[in-house]
Amino acid sequence: MPCKQIHCPAVAFKNAADMVRNVPNIKVFALRRMFIAGKVNKSAASRELGIDRRTIFRYFREFSEIRKHYPEKLSDMHFYMPGGDRSHRLTRLYHPTIRLLPEVIAAEKRPRLSAVSAYQHYKQLMPEGYSYSAFKDVLFKYCRENNISLICNKIIPFISVEDKAVLARWRKGNDHQRWQVAVVLEAAHTRISLLYTVNRVECCFRTALRWIDIYQRSGLAGFERSYTVNPEVKSRMKEKMDNVLHLVQQSPKIYGLPKTSWTTKELAGVYEQVYGSPMSAAAASVYLRKQGINTRRAKEVLTSPDPLFREKFAAIQDILAHLGPSERFFSIDEYGPASVRPKGGRALALPGGRPVFEQVQKGKGWFIMFAALELSTNQVSHFYTRKKDTAEMIRLIDLLVGQYRDCEKLYLSWDAVSFHASRKLLAHIAELNSPAYRARWRTPAIGVAPLPSSAQFLNVIESVFSGMARSVIHNSDYQSLEECCRAIDAHFEKRNRFFKDHPQKAGKMIWGKEKVPAVFDKSNLCRSRSGNHKSRS
């Protein structure tokens, strides 16, 4: 809860907190419990606890401010209102004095900063300045605010002008370690607390002392970096980079992967199999970047013009929020028509190089795929066809009813294509939901949860299609329609087996391939236009 700072009671709060040191904690805690309980007779409390009534009044005033500004802290017996120092009255002497304090402090040669000696030097510079009492308050406040130690820790007594210029460049440069060294050395030359400096630069105290020792023995020349790489290590790194580059230039299919382009994780795994040397995905990525090999990703944003977007989206979210253990929710869509011919796509490429394929080619066949993704088990059901119409949609529904016959209800979610809401389809769903049909065939009830119009980016299965296309279709050159379909079947079989062995709801990226998590979310962008894997009727 934000603190509402009030300047007037600050001194009173500080005094009340200070009284804790004079009044035993057990009595203060008893007072606090009385205050929390409700109305208290201060005279009776004074006699019972042996505390002056004025002290009780001050504590109750403190507790009232805590209840007002920090109500959640009222029952914390050790919490008191934060009390600041009394602010110094800003007279015309304040700012000139602040400007003189660095010179006054730097002139002090004693191990401990003496307010008397500093005041004498101050009066020489500014005879009409503060009195000793006011000057001492300003001096010690300035030291606290600027982390200036009262005990002199000028470990380095002298830094030349040339070295100061170099340290100034190090502080402004991009080299983090040199910035650390510069800050530590400058602190060791002043009264700034070395402990504060170590916390600021985020290094250990022993390291700071080592840097100071290096400077005292060798100057800034001791920080010059002169090291050589072991020739054997350098040779091994060069060999690994060459081997990784050699693998990237080959197809993953050569090594038994149903992929058309490499990922760093798969690259590292194949490297270990081929060369018998350990390799991590991070190391493979570093080796690729050093040779200028990388990938690029584009950003796309889609919107829905449906005036009932909020209502339809809320209805789907409500179904998912109350989905029972014997209910299933399906994200349904069609992939294609897709032609079997050499395809382009994103892939790792050498510097200045780019994969190419002919624009005009003779196709080896084409297909349309109907598929449904069950969100609670993350399983995909699919089949191939040559047309998009109501009959094929009825075929998919019958397939799901047969596969999930032991469930009580199936929810079907699809986009606003015309044959998803045809009279024939709705009549078939009504027949499936009729009591006579369900009693005879023991089938689950069917519920429909349509997506808003032009909201393909909300269809979860689009994300799975995107991962399948990148893994199987992009950068492919299948010799026949059957070979392409076998690759797609193998991809979905592997995917379904993975989620059977590792049960979880749709919502995790599938082997790093889905463009977005497979989860129903209005922020998801499931459809990939760049892949051109989808055509709408």
**Of 58, 61, 60, 34, which Cα lies nearest the Cα of 45?**
34
What percentage of residues in the chain have a pLDDT greater than 90? 25
CB 118 within 8 A of CB 105: yes
Backbone angles phi, psi at 54, to 5 degrees: -65, -35
Rounded CA-CA distance 484/467 in Å is: 15
β 379-385/409-413 pair status:
unpaired
Rounded CA-CA distance 88/141 in Å is: 9
Rounded CA-CA distance 194/201 in Å is: 11
Q: Is the peptide bond before 96 cis (omega within 30 degrees of 0)?
A: no
pLDDT at residue 79, rounded to an integer: 84
Q: Residues 85-118: pLDDT tens digits?
A: 555 567 788 889 989 998 888 787 766 678 888 8
What radius of gyration do the chain's Cα atoms show? 38
pLDDT confidence tier of residue 526, bands split at 50, 70 and 90: low
pLDDT at 149 over 90: no
CB 185 within 8 A of CB 222: no
Query: What separation in angstroms does the CA of 289 have from each of 48, 270, 282, 351, 356?
Result: 77, 19, 11, 10, 22
CB 99 within 8 A of CB 91: no
CB 517 within 8 A of CB 507: yes
- Contact partners, residue 463, CB within 8 Å, separation at least 6: 514, 515, 516, 517, 518, 524, 526
Least confident of 132-141, 247-256, 367-376: 247-256
What percentage of residues in the chain have a pLDDT greater than 70? 81
Q: Residues 251-263: pLDDT tens digits?
A: 788 888 887 788 8
The DSSP annotation for 327-349 comes to EEEEEEEEEEEEE-S--------
pLDDT confidence tier of residue 353, bands split at 50, 70 and 90: low
Average pLDDT over residues 350-357: 65
Q: Residues 480-500: pLDDT tens digits?
A: 999 999 999 999 999 999 989
pLDDT at 300 over 60: no
Rounded CA-CA distance 440/443 in Å is: 8
Average pLDDT over residues 330-337: 92
Burial of 104 (0-12, 13-18, 19+ CB in 10 A): buried
pLDDT confidence tier of residue 295, bands split at 50, 70 and 90: low
- Contact partners, residue 80, CB within 8 Å, separation at least 6: 13, 16, 17, 20, 62, 66
* DSSP tag of 320: H
- Contact partners, residue 349, CB within 8 Å, separation at least 6: 293, 355
pLDDT at residue 406, rounded to an integer: 93
pLDDT confidence tier of residue 49, bands split at 50, 70 and 90: confident
pLDDT at 48 over 70: yes
pLDDT at 1 over 90: no
CB 420 within 8 A of CB 450: yes
Which one is predicted more confidently, 405 or 253? 405
Average pLDDT over residues 27-49: 86
pLDDT confidence tier of residue 385, bands split at 50, 70 and 90: very high
Average pLDDT over residues 343-351: 72
Range of 356-365, 370-379, 453-462 with top mean pLDDT: 370-379
Average pLDDT over residues 282-307: 73
pLDDT at residue 15, rounded to an integer: 45
pLDDT at residue 334, rounded to an integer: 93
Task: Read off the pTM.
Answer: 0.47
CB 221 within 8 A of CB 234: no
pLDDT confidence tier of residue 508, bands split at 50, 70 and 90: very low
**Of 371, 322, 357, 362, which Cα lies nearest the Cα of 469?**
371
Rounded CA-CA distance 192/520 in Å is: 56
CB 188 within 8 A of CB 154: yes
